[in-house]
Structure 1
Amino acid sequence: MRKFFILSLAALSLGALAGCDGGHSTAEVKTETESHGVTTVKTKSDVDGVKTESGLELSHYAVRAALGQNPNTGGYVTVKNIGKDDDRLVSVACDCAEKVELHTMKMDGDKMMMSPVPEGFEVKAGQTLELKPGGNHIMLMGLKTRPADGETLSLTLNFAKAGAVKIEAPVSNAPLSGATEHSGH
């Protein structure tokens, strides 16, 4: 196990702290663990008595090395929803690029067309979202630094319920080729 950390947040609104009627209370506990190239995130929250439970496993994360003078590159991750509630990957951030978008690929006649998905990708409870070469993916545009083969790049994936999740994605000339899990990255 490479890293283990627990983030816990508990907050009560001013009305609840003062014991006023109509108080609004919020409590959230978020746990993140990373082991053998799999990051697991579990979040439990209670907002005014409404309890939610999110759980995600992120694996197979990678970034394609910057090719030639191309100002853009792609990022990839598999997100398995192991929680009881649906979630949504709403955005991704990386300091290495001016702009990061979620993209989809589809055929337009005999051409493969790429387009942004500003609403993000839903990850239903019990299902898996694959962002991979030739399919849905993360697009890093206007590279400020050029990711090179063998490096590691920090990406922050933002989910509607699980919140921000930071991963360290290995950079490769052939991302995800034949790899089932990262080893030692």
Structure 2
Amino acid sequence: MATPVIQGPRIQLRPARASDREERRALGHAPEVARGFGVTMLQPAEMTAESADAWFARLSAEAHAWVIDLGGRFIGTLTLHSFVRADSRASLAVAIFDASLLGQGIGTEAVALAVRHAFEELDLHRLSIRVLASNTRAVRCYEKCGFKVEGRERESARVGDSWEDDLTMGLLREEWLTASAT
């Protein structure tokens, strides 16, 4: 099944295209974005052509992967992954690579679109997310979309020279349906 285009009020989730490789490379690695993934950077860093090629190959290989497109411009990615068909569940990952767009609700819109797709089109029962506890912006985004903190893995992520906690967050289809009805 081809990855569908999902249109939102401001953004579009769409399959990756070759031009996204260069747009991703141009965005490079912003310290504020990298911090959300548990990477400590003091200065912005360029993305090599080889890294951009590898990123594009990984994204293109995912069956349920989208580029987050804002006004015709690549700004991030969203994937549904780690499917367990017998349990009708999957995990979700989202990234906004343009640091100037963080905190504007774009990630929340992208997650909400993917959640709707997962429950309505893929007929999943459950979605889960793993996020650094210190990534409060992401935690708020997921909570706005209905996810609940289900557990904390203490000191499970090495970030620079220290250990940080990871949160596991989950959303059940029934919870989403109830919240969507109100």
Q: Which has the higher contact order (CA 8 A, sep 6+)?
A: 1
Fold match by TM threshold 0.5: no
Structure of larger gyration radius: 1
Pick the structure with more helix per residue: 2
**What TM bracket, shorter-length normalisation?**
under 0.3
TM-score (normalizing by structure 1): 0.27
Higher strand share: 1
